[in-house]
Amino acid sequence: MLSSLEKHWPLISIALLVFLFDSLWLWPEMQGPLSLAIIVVSVGVLITFTIYRRLEQNLKGLIERSTMTRLIILDCVGILLVLTSAMAVGSYVSKTVGLWVFEMLQSSAPQWAEVVAIISSLLSALAAGVGVGWMVRSMWARVENSMAGKKTKASEA
């Protein structure tokens, strides 16, 4: 069941993002609660998949229980670090780009200024979040490898 959900999670995640984007125009007053709910569900599922994967490795005898516990803690801290840094930078970039685009278009195309500013701020936040997330994740992988101690059979596979 969980492995089937994990297999289809990228499509489910994309559908949730499309729903969130559509809700910006359909239910603008619900944008905050919907965003929070989707973030909580996504992070919860990601942490569940991470723990499930480590438990499977332990049951197969690929890692010891102490190594499994250490890796689960490191994985969860890494996930939260990547998400918080991507959210912080994405939020800053989104506000900056959105305000800049709105001010630029306010005089030339006032009817489109708000829509274009919203779309550009969302796209810039997405790009910044992905970039920062990738950088932090790659740095955290190095930290995690050094903190996890010896290499396990699971990390070599």
The residues near 123 (Cβ < 8 Å, ≥ 6 apart) are none
149 Ramachandran zone, left/alpha/beta (phi>0; psi -120 to 50)? left
Q: What is the mean pLDDT of the chain?
A: 83
pLDDT tens digit sequence for 101-134: 999 888 888 888 888 888 898 889 889 988 988 8
152 Ramachandran zone, left/alpha/beta (phi>0; psi -120 to 50)? beta
- 76 and 50 in contact (C-beta within 8 Å)? yes
For residue 149, report the phi and psi dihedrals to the nearest 5 degrees: 85, -140
- Residue 150 pLDDT more than 70? no
Q: What is the pLDDT of residue 124?
A: 92
Question: Which residue, 21, 12, 86, is CA-closest to 46?
Answer: 12
pTM of the model: 0.70
Question: What mean pLDDT comes out for the span 27-33?
Answer: 79
Q: Which residue did the predictor score with more confidence, 25 or 93?
A: 93
Question: What mean pLDDT comes out for the span 36-44?
Answer: 85
Q: Which residue did the predictor score with more confidence, 125 or 154?
A: 125
Q: What is the pLDDT of residue 157?
A: 45
- Residue 151 pLDDT more than 60? no
Question: What mean pLDDT comes out for the span 7-36?
Answer: 80
Domain positions in the chain are 2-156
